A and B are shown apart, each in its own frame.
Chain A
């Protein structure tokens, strides 16, 4: 099992760097956009596009 980030109740809030957030979103967003593009392109044949 995983362990809690902290068991202390007076823990100071931590802030995730903006760059890390942007990188994480890009890491999932770019492959997803690639998958969506390919799927929509293939599916468009269904409707004669």
Chain B
């Protein structure tokens, strides 16, 4: 909220640094805090269905784009009637964008204050009806022990999962980053494409829908088939789909859309399932803090993904004026990344006992003094 308000002030006063500071720096910090807190809280409310819980929370995060995109276009059209989002090439005025930032900041303030008002962390002895904590012990990768955030980052499991998330997100960004020009280029006939710009925008919307749905559906599925197998699907099947996209993706629009949609659903699923995977490996003790550290993989992928795809495409020409074949090298790089992630996931084993918190540790007490444990 503060980020939007400061960013809005930056646009009104034409101070670019204030926009970067508000929307980029303050907004980025708020985004991270707002992302992790509900996830770690929900995991504690649903010890029997952590995948469902994290899927719900992270689906909300992905679903925000579905709402904010059309709402932003509508608001900018209200603030600057000369701007028509349906007409390619029209640009809103600075004041319209500043007004948009201000409005979104106030809307988010109301929503988030309501969320903060009603959210509760469950009591330490909370159990859903009919849930037997002993049942989770039967799954080999699911621990009933707890590992602190400081110890977690010393384990190979943390860095293997970091690699898994990095590869999964980088591959997903490969499509998301260039979705609109990509679908036009895949169906280009000489100078013109059979896919119009407005239709390409619809494709981007469809991807965000599958991104959101994948977060809920796949993460919930992981409660039944296990976290490691679901990542084998995200990365292994995703790899095959990427190969198909690179080879037969340009034969029909429906094939291209179907392949891209499923790939993006895996991308969303990979995001949503990772907190539950962390809970399985490290327990609930500091899962929010561990999740925060793991999300550096997301940040790294956000830099590397566009660098790869833009680097390859720039060497071929200008996106929006290319053909399907120009995308193949970038797509096959993504295939390689998914293969690396697949192997990293296969290598994940239960966390060694030396990293566990002492048995005498009372979890609620430990939560009040989270940094006191070290590797023994």
Spell out A's residues near B (CB within 8 Å): 1-9, 11, 20, 24, 27-28, 31-32, 34-36, 38-40, 42-47
Contacts and interface: CB of A to CB of B under 8 A. Distances in A.
Interface in B34-79: 37, 41, 60, 63, 66-71
Contacts, number: 83
Given A34-B67, A46-B203, A39 B198 contact: no
A38 B73 CA distance: 11
Contacts of B60: 28
A43 B123 contact: no
Given A24-B118, A34-B71, A6 B203 contact: no
Contacts of A34: 67, 70-71
B257 interface: yes
Contact of B121 (A4, A32, A43): A4
A46 B202 contact: yes
Contacts of A3: 121, 368
A20 B118 CA distance: 9
Nearest to B44: A4
B125 interface: yes
Contacts of A45: 196, 198-199, 202
Closest 9 A/B residue pairs (Cβ)? A35-B66, A35-B67, A38-B70, A43-B206, A42-B202, A39-B205, A43-B202, A42-B205, A45-B202
Question: Max chain B CB contacts within 10 Å: which of A1, A6, A8, A20?
Answer: A1
Contacts of A44: 202
A11 B125 CA distance: 10
A4 B364 contact: yes
21 contacts: A1-B367, A4-B122, A4-B124, A4-B364, A5-B123, A7-B123, A8-B123, A27-B111, A28-B60, A32-B66, A36-B66, A36-B209, A38-B66, A38-B70, A38-B205, A39-B66, A42-B198, A43-B206, A45-B199, A46-B202, A46-B206
